[in-house]
Amino acid sequence: ALAPGASTTLGFQATHTGNTGTPSSFALNGTVCQRG
């Protein structure tokens, strides 16, 4: 939990396979995401 008025920085690692148009798969922090 953050105190009122506090700030934090978030980050993530992402990878995809396929062409640059639409990735055939996508993972966020190692977890595969569904395309929609």
The predicted pLDDT at position 7 comes to 95
The predicted pLDDT at position 6 comes to 95
| Tens of pLDDT, residues 1-24 | 899 999 999 888 878 777 777 777
List the beta strands (DSSP E) in the chain. Answer: 14-17, 25-28, 31-33
pTM (two decimals): 0.33
Residue 35 has pLDDT above 90, yes or no: no
